[in-house]
């Protein structure tokens, strides 16, 4: 067993006992872990199904306004986005963002939730809405690369990010992140006209 798996299991055990949800919370955590593995394999629909199963447990045990449920909603929204289910992705990401904004509006988790929702809005052709959402808190932005190594560590200020020069609706912490995200972003970058800032 890898050290990251051991660390994850220790975190799950601590949460299981501290939340009082017992085995149901552990079951939800295991489903989240399995969803991550499916996502990494490119099995986005199966990842979404597992996230939804986890979310049902977390909503029942911890409540829909819990940070844990918001975490699962955020990842469910991204999996739905990858499956092309944009309306459903928008719905769950709005719910996740509402919880994250209420708990810590300037924090990194709220910034990531806003960026995930903005990504969906761009895919739906609403660049102006995406830009407004991303820039609504200029000192709490997230890198637009879903796999950014820095995004989970801090919220960025507007001046720290680089704007996509073509569509001006995506923001990245580095050229490396912009290049890594291009595979997804290119489908929406040229599909609608650019908005004005």
pLDDT tens-place string over residues 100-128: 889 887 788 888 888 899 889 989 989 88
Domain of 20, in residue numbers: 3-103
The answer as to whether 191 is a domain residue is no
Q: Does residue 166 carry a pLDDT above 80?
A: yes
What is the overall mean pLDDT for the chain? Answer: 83
Q: What is the pTM of this model?
A: 0.76
The answer as to whether 50 is a domain residue is yes
Q: What is the pLDDT of residue 4?
A: 43
Q: Which of 69, 64, 161, 75 is nearest to 112 (CA)?
A: 75
Contact 161, 118 (CB under 8 A): no
The answer as to whether 130 is a domain residue is no
- Give the other-Cβ count within 10 Å of 134's Cβ: 26
User: How far is residue 174 from each of residues 134, 149, 169, 177, measured CA to CA in Å?
Assistant: 17, 11, 15, 5
Q: How far apart are CA 25 and CA 163, in angstroms?
A: 39
**Highest mean pLDDT range out of 11-15, 151-155, 182-186?**
182-186
Q: How far apart are CA 184 and CA 162, in angstroms?
A: 17
The answer as to whether 10 is a domain residue is yes
The answer as to whether 126 is a domain residue is no
Q: What is the pLDDT of residue 196?
A: 38
Q: How far apart are CA 87 and CA 47, in angstroms?
A: 17
DSSP structural state of residue 148: -
Q: Does residue 180 carry a pLDDT above 70?
A: yes
Q: If you compute the radius of gyration of the chain from its CA atoms, what whole number of angstroms results?
A: 17
Q: What is the pLDDT of residue 72?
A: 96
For the chain, how many structural domains are there in total?
A: 1
pLDDT band at 40 (very low <50, low <70, confident <90, very high): very high
The answer as to whether 69 is a domain residue is yes
pLDDT band at 152 (very low <50, low <70, confident <90, very high): low
Q: Residue 31, CB half-sphere, CA atoms under 13 Å: how many?
A: 23
Q: What is the pLDDT of residue 11?
A: 53
Q: Does residue 6 carry a pLDDT above 50?
A: no
Q: What is the pLDDT of residue 193?
A: 46
| 34 burial via Cβ count (<10 Å: 0-12, 13-18, 19+) | middle
The answer as to whether 190 is a domain residue is no
The answer as to whether 17 is a domain residue is yes
The percentage of the chain sitting over the pLDDT mark of 90, rounded to a whole number, equals: 41
Range in 16-20, 25-29, 163-167 the model is least confident about: 16-20
> Which CATH number is 42's domain given?
1.25.40.10
Range in 8-22, 47-61, 83-97, 170-184 the model is least confident about: 8-22
């Amino acid at each position: 067993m890898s050290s990251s798996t051991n660390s994850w299991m220790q975190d799950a055990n601590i949460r299981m006992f501290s939340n009082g949800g017992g085995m149901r919370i552990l079951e939800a955590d295991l489903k989240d872990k399995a969803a991550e593995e499916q996502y990494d394999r490119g099995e986005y629909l199966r990842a979404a199904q597992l996230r939804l199963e986890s979310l049902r447990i977390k909503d029942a045990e911890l409540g829909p306004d819990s940070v844990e449920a918001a975490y699962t909603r955020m990842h469910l929204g991204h999996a739905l986005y990858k499956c092309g289910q944009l309306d459903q992705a928008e719905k769950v990401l709005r719910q996740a963002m509402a919880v994250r904004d209420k708990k810590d509006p300037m924090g990194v988790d709220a910034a990531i939730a806003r960026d995930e929702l903005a990504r969906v809005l761009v895919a739906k052709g609403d660049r102006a809405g995406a830009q407004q959402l991303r820039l609504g808190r200029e000192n709490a932005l997230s890198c637009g690369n879903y796999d950014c190594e820095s995004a989970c560590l801090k919220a960025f200020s507007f001046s720290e990010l680089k704007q996509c020069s073509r569509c001006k609706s995506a923001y990245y912490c580095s050229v490396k992140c912009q290049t890594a995200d291009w595979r997804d972003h290119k489908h929406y970058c040229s599909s609608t006209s650019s908005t004005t800032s």
